[in-house]
Amino acid sequence: MQAAPADQQRLLDLQALDSKLDQLAHRRRTLPQLAEHAALQTRASQLRDLLVASATAQSDLAREQRKAEADVDQVRTRAERDRKLLESGSAGARELSNLQSELESLAKRQSDLEDIVLEVMERVEAADNRTAGLTKRREAAEADLARVTASRADGLASLDKDIAFATSQRDLLAAQLPADLLALYEKLRAQYGGIGAAAIKQRRCEGCRLELDISEVNEIRAAAPDTVLRHDSCRRILVRTPESGL
Ligand SMILES: [Zn+2]
């Protein structure tokens, strides 16, 4: 393939822009805020789930507390009724003894139920504390998430600006190159890890970093300036520059 030396030089500029674009795309993919954002989102969502569970536990406990308190009330009402009957003096001797023994067992029952109420109240307090703690943690996670979301947007916007600028430069340059040279470069770039054209610097291929041997150097020296050179070792396009050491 033949190409004007100036076009061969432009190919190196194009390669530099393409490599820069590859780096920018890599930075965009691996922006630390992306991983941070994903981790915070997971944490915020876990905390939301825990809060839902905690709120459910709270409402179950509230129901349990109401039930226990109603049980105590029921026993208390019954005992009151018994005491009134007792005090009215209208009960016979047998009924009197029955009332007294019932009052004793009601007192015991009331004390047991009051213990249950206290125990439930302790659990209610623990559940309230847990919900309050989770709420604080969720608020902190959501504040972090908002901060990282903004920082991620800034980071992406700045990279996108650089990418847009480099892309427009790249497109202008590509439009100036002969179609066959550009097509060969694109093909090799896709094939060889993003590098399709490389300068020769101090008799070394900048694409694969191998030093050219003497027969390669001689071949290159003998080649016409318009000849598009390829490196035998890495197959990339080789471009001669003033630093080639030929
Ligand atoms: Zn090479």
Measured distance CA(107)–CA(85) in Å, rounded? 16
134 vs 178: CA distance, rounded Å: 65
Average pLDDT over residues 111-128: 96
For residue 202, report the distance from its CA to the centre of ligand 1, in Å. Answer: 13
Distance 168 CA to ligand 1 centre (A): 28
Ligand 1 midpoint to CA 245 (Å): 16
CA of 191 to the centre of ligand 1 (A): 13
- In angstroms, what is the span from residue 204 Cα to ligand 1's centroid? 8
Distances, alpha carbon 134 to alpha carbons 120, 125, 146, in Å: 21, 14, 18
Longest dimension (CA), the chain: 136
Percentage above 70 pLDDT, the chain: 100
- Ligand 1 centroid–CA 211 distance in Å is 8
**Spacing, Cα 178 to ligand 1 middle (Å):** 23
Q: How much is the pLDDT for 90?
A: 85
Question: How confident is the model over 84-114, as pLDDT tens digits?
Answer: 998 998 888 889 999 999 999 999 999 999 9
pTM for this entry: 0.75
Tokens of 132: 């309050």
What is the CA(230)–ligand 1 centre distance, in A?
8
Residue 138 pLDDT greater than 90, yes or no: yes
How far away, in angstroms, is 110 Cα from ligand 1 center?
93
**CB-CB contact of 35 with 210 (8 Å):** no
Say how many Å lie between the CA of residue 207 and the centre of ligand 1. Answer: 5
**Dist. CA 153–CA 149, nearest whole Å:** 6
Could you tell me the distance, in angstroms and rounded to a whole number, from the CA of residue 209 to the centre of ligand 1? 6
Span from the CA of 174 to the centroid of ligand 1 (angstroms): 22
> How many Å lie between the centroid of ligand 1 and the Cα of residue 11?
15
CA of 192 to the centre of ligand 1 (A): 10
Summarised one tens digit per residue, pLDDT across range 171-189 is 999 999 999 999 999 999 9
What pLDDT does 92 receive? 86
pLDDT in tens, 23-33: 999 999 999 99
